[in-house]
Homo-oligomer: A and B are copies of this chain.
Amino acid sequence: MLASAATGLAPRRRDLDFQLFEVLDVEALLRLPQFAEHDRATLSGVLDTAYEIAGDFFAPSAAELDAFPFRLVDGNVATPESLKRALRAYVDAGFMGATFRAQDGGLQLPATLSSAAGLVFNAANGSANAYAFLTIGAAHLLAAFGDDDQRERWMRPMVEGRYFGTMALSEPHAGSSLGDITTQAIPAGDGTYRLHGSKMWISAAEHDLSENIVNLVLAKLPDAPPGVKGISLFIVPKFLLDEHGRPGRRNGVHVTGLNHKLGQRGVVNTVLTFGDDCTGYLVGAPHDGMRQMFHMMNEARIAVGAGAAALNLAAYEYSLGYAKDRPQGRRLTDKDPLSRPVAIIEHADVRRMLLKQKAIAEGGLALVLYCSYLVDIANASEDAAEREAAHGLVDVLTPVAKTWPSEHGIESTSLAIQILGGYGYSPEYPVERHFRDQRLNPIHEGTTGIQGLDLLGRKVRLHGGEGLRLFVEAMQHDIDAARGVAGLREETPALEAASRELVRVTRALLEAQIELGPERALAESTAYLDAFGTIAVAWRWLAQARVAAAAPPDDFSAGKLAASRYFFRYELPAAVATLRRLAELDELIFSVTPQML
């Protein structure tokens, strides 16, 4: 299967196979009862199909979708035919239901594999993939918290790709601070609710791609306690169902405006208003909406990280191909102006940019796939202790997996532009789109600042520091395995030292939360998150390097070892330096006043 090489899709198939079957042991998952119906050949076939659909439908639509002038006409938004074709092919191949149980109409595949396929779609056309990703997330949420009737009426059509879904959290005045939302849900007396209020930045809440749109909306009941403890979750469909269970009357949820954004422009982004006759259905218990939404949100956050990694991979792949083809300039040792120009990849600075991109893109890929693998263990292992450990570890890694590929992706996609020079800056080439698309990832589904507070203020200290212990233990496992490997004598002790430093500094910061209070101790949680993320990615590079070092030497293995070495020499030391600085609990940032700025 040479689709990837033939079409320039990302990630390269060889790398994806390496990550799934050599670095992670996805075949081991197939021994679990939940995935017993599958074998390596099925999984391989699913990936073949993903590359085929991504190449035939997603990639060719990406530029058109990015430039498509979405307009709100009588409350409706039309989308381009190429997007409809892409999503139809996606649905027809069963990807919408990839991870759902067979009895719910799904393929019951491991999340790791679904995530891998998602990366291929995302790299080819992130905006198109967003419609699917939102639908899958909404359906997962109803799978977890909906009652039988809700699952039948709303979840199943999403699994089958007939309805699409959304998640509607933010309001114009409340994005990061969800406790302050004001959308109200008033009991109608018949078990349903009437919603009032409006939502902001809601992706895919209007389009012509599906028979219905299932909005999952956070709102407050009249007797709600204040803050996040008073939030409930509602199904607010675009069309109410008729007596046959089919989309009938238009519900009172209306798109009252479109937001146009810097990137991810192919995702219709709306202002959503709940009118006087807007019906909603409560999901689960009253006031339990935040917990439920966070079930979806954690999945969404890992998916944002995966989308970010996919953009990095796509930009890397494109700029690598360009650098190999584009003649410009001569080697520094060649002073003959009549000699033929060389391909720019011959210039060391271009190779530097490519190697850095590779280290970020493939390192992020390894991290997000590892998280999906943990999700599979947490959901499907037969060993309760293993399930719990995997759950605890993925909980700690979620803010990291969301943030690291996103934040470092700004630089990584920017390097792709730099390699293309003036052409990189032009819409005729895809890398400026990757750069624009990437810029949203550190914002949506919880900003980087929110993720930092989540990690240092919550995740690493939950259950007496269990989360951090799990992380360090998991790293130690790979450190021990790599210890004897000849080619990794530099990396193995470096990661071990970084891990020790992380433990030491985390303890100091947790003590400071008690001694100095949370504001001082958490003032630099973003820097902590970034250093933590770099250590996590270094770990995933070590895991890759160990496999590459054991493989027969070839360009692929040599490339993995070089990128790993680059990461350990160029990126990891800065993270360790950051940790050391953090341990000093510098008051500078905290003490700056608004008037001094």
Instruction: Report which A residues bind B (CB closer than 8 A).
Output: 170, 173-177, 179-180, 200-201, 226-229, 259-263, 320, 323-324, 327-333, 337-338, 341, 343, 345, 347-352, 354-355, 358, 410-411, 414, 417-418, 421-422, 424-427, 432, 435-436, 439-440, 442-444, 447-449, 452-453, 457, 517-519, 522-527, 555, 558-559, 562, 565-566, 569-570, 573-574, 577, 581, 586, 588-597
Can you give 16 contacting A-B residue pairs, CB < 8 Å? A175-B328, A175-B422, A179-B337, A180-B328, A226-B337, A227-B338, A333-B517, A348-B519, A349-B523, A350-B449, A352-B524, A352-B589, A355-B592, A418-B442, A418-B447, A565-B588
A448 and B337 in contact, given A349-B523, A351-B589, A559-B597 (Cβ under 8 angstroms): no
Interface of A is mostly: helix
Instruction: Tell whether A596 pairs with B558 under 8 Å between CB atoms, given A329-B176, A350-B449.
Output: yes
B contact residues around A170 at 8 Å (CB): 422
What residues of chain B lie closer than 8 Å to A453, measured between beta carbons?
332, 349
For the complex, what is the distance from the CA of A10 to the CA of B205, rounded to whole Å?
39
The answer, among B259, B351, B425, for a CB contact under 8 Å with A439, is: B425
**Closest Cβ of chain B: how far from A551's Cβ, in Å?**
14
- A354-B597 in contact given A329-B176, A341-B180, A421-B175 (Cβ < 8 Å): yes
A559 to chain B: which residues have CB within 8 Å?
592, 595-597
- In Å, the complex CA distance between A177 and B328 comes to 6
For the complex of A and B, list the 6 residue pairs with the smallest distance between their C-beta atoms, beginning with the closest: A227-B337, A559-B596, A348-B523, A349-B449, A555-B595, A226-B337
- What separation, in Å, do the CA atoms of A443 and B414 have in the docked complex? 11
| Chain B nearest CB, measured from A340 CB (Å) | 10
Tell me which of B259, B333, B443, B565 contacts A518 (CB under 8 A). B333
Q: Is there contact, CB below 8 Å, between B422 and A201?
A: yes
Decide: B426 and A262 in contact? CB cutoff 8 A: yes
Chain B residues whose CB sits within 8 angstroms of the CB of A525 once the complex forms = 349
Residues of B with C-beta under 8 A to A174? 328
When the two chains form their complex, are residues A351 and B597 in contact, meaning their CB atoms are under 8 A apart?
yes
Contacts of A589 in B (CB 8 A): 348, 351-352, 355, 566
Q: A422-B201, A447-B418, A519-B333 are in contact. Are A358 and B261 (CB under 8 A)?
A: no
In the complex formed, the residue of B with least CB distance to A348 is B523
Residues of B within 8 A of A200 (CB): 422
Q: Which residue of B lies closest to A448 (CB)?
A: B418
Q: Please, which residues of chain B bring their CB within 8 A of the CB of A332?
A: 453, 457, 518-519, 522
The answer to whether B588 touches A566, judged by C-beta atoms less than 8 angstroms apart, is yes
A323 and B592 alpha carbons, distance in the complex (Å): 14
Is A260 touching B427 in the complex (CB atoms < 8 A)?
A: yes
CA distance A259 to B428 in the complex (A): 9
Given A261-B427, A562-B591; 7 other pairs, CB 8 A cutoff: A226-B338, A262-B417, A262-B435, A435-B439, A562-B588, A566-B588, A570-B581
Assess the A328–B176 pair: CB atoms within 8 A: yes
User: In the assembly, what is the distance between CA of A522 and CA of B350, in Å?
Assistant: 12
Contact A349 B519 (CB under 8 A): no
| Contact assessment for B262 and A432 in the assembled complex, using a CB-CB cutoff below 8 Å | yes
Instruction: Give the residues in chain B near A432, CB-CB below 8 Å.
Output: 262, 439
Q: How far is the CA of A588 from the CA of B555 in the complex (A)?
A: 15
Q: Report the nearest B residue to A523, measured CB to CB.
A: B348
Give the CA-CA distance A147 to B485 in the complex, in Å.
71
Q: How far is the CB of A37 from chain B (nearest CB, A)?
A: 38
Whether the Cβ atoms of B226 and A352 lie closer than 8 Å is no
Determine the residue in chain B with the shortest Cβ distance to A414: B410
State the CA gap A358–B348 with chains docked (Å).
33
Chain B residue at smallest Cβ distance from A354? B597
Cα–Cα distance between A449 and B345 once the two chains are bound (Å): 13
Given A410-B414, A562-B588, A573-B577 in contact, is the A358-B526 Cβ separation under 8 Å? no
How far apart are the CA atoms of A425 and B425 in the complex, in Å?
18
Task: Please give, as numbers and ranges, the residues of chain B lying within 8 Å of A417 by CB-CB distance.
Answer: 262, 439, 443
Chain B nearest Cβ from A314, distance in angstroms: 15
Measured CB to CB, the closest approach of chain B to A63, in angstroms, equals 13
Residues of B with C-beta under 8 A to A329: 176-177
- When distances are taken between beta carbons in the complex, the residues of chain B under 8 Å from A331 are 519
